[in-house]
Amino acid sequence: MKVAVITGASRGIGRACAERLAADGYAVVINYSRSESQALEVLRSILDNGGTGMLCRADVSDLKAVQNMIRKVMNTYGQIDVLVNNAGIVRDEYLFMLNEETLNRCMDINVKGYFYCAQQAALKMFRKKEGLIINMSSVSAGTAIAGQSVYSATKGAVNSMTRTMAKELAPYGIRVNAVAPGFIKTEMIDSIPDEKRDEYLNSIPLGRFGTAEDVANMVSMLCSDSCSYMTGQTIVLDGGLSL
């Protein structure tokens, strides 16, 4: 059975990816950092639907915690086939108001966390000469949204690391791609004030926010054999927002 590690899988996009990959036949590792009860709920729903999985608490911005997580996965399943680097935070702050804590936390989770997980998973994948890393980016990397300079910078970094990691890891049979969602209906979007949310909705040509399942479908497709020749790409999934 193939094994997929999904970071930040206790809710939102990560949860949908875990449920979808479990339905596709993967044993899934549900990572989270704080939301234990939500993560348990995800595991229960997967098991109830006949899937296989385990929980793994680890703050992705802590290298030692990531190393422990990967060790635990290897002890349990003996392999890692897919890593979905998804755990991320958004902190909207205008430049004039930006504080150091916000800057550091976003960089630590959205950038360093992606490096730590990719590195530790790739070290295991490379033995099999096979593997797939999918980085969750954002349309914000290329579409300017006032107040999101830090968030967009972290997602720009995700797109750049995707390309370079893809080139470095291709000789070892490891592919690296990214998905860049637009506005997806999760708690992240729910936290936006109503007025602003309506403004965002009006800017989407398809006239609706995406769903976590829309993103999970794309992740599932990237995991399928039909995408086996694709690496280093960032797939935009935004209802036309960036057009």
**Positions marked active-site:** 151
Cross-strand bridge partners of residue 234:
178
173 token code pair: 């049979």
Does residue number 55 form part of the binding site for ligand NAP (CB under 6 A)? no
**Cβ-contact 228, 131 below 8 angstroms:** no
**Cβ-contact 215, 184 below 8 angstroms:** yes
The correct pick among 54, 55, 74, 89 for binding ligand NAP (CB under 6 A) is 89
Q: Mark the segment that binds ligand NAP (CB under 6 A) among 6-14, 71-79, 95-103, 222-230.
A: 6-14
Pattern 147-186, ligand NAP, x by CB under 6 A? ----------------------------------x-xx-x
Is 141 in a helix, a strand, or coil? helix
Does residue number 10 form part of the binding site for ligand NAP (CB under 6 A)? yes
Q: State the Cα angle at 192 between 196 and 217, rounded to 5°.
A: 105
Q: Mark the segment that binds ligand NAP (CB under 6 A) among 21-29, 53-61, 76-84, 163-171.
A: 53-61
Does residue number 70 form part of the binding site for ligand NAP (CB under 6 A)? no
HEC string for 13-55? HHHHHHHHHHHCCCEEEEEECCCHHHHHHHHHHHHHCCCEEEE
Distance CA 54, CA 73 (A): 9
Instruction: For the CB of residue 67, give the shortest distance to ligand NAP in the complex, in Å.
Output: 14
Does residue number 201 form part of the binding site for ligand NAP (CB under 6 A)? no
Residue with Cβ nearer ligand NAP (40 or 172): 40
Is 157 in a helix, a strand, or coil? helix
Residue with Cβ nearer ligand NAP (3 or 9): 9
**Cβ-contact 38, 95 below 8 angstroms:** no
Residue with Cβ nearer ligand NAP (79 or 242): 242
Q: Which residues ranging from 91 to 130 are in contact with ligand NAP (CB under 6 A)?
A: 109
Distance CA 131, CA 169 (A): 9
Contact footprint for ligand NAP (CB under 6 A): 7-14, 31-35, 59-61, 86-90, 109, 136, 138, 181, 183-184, 186-189
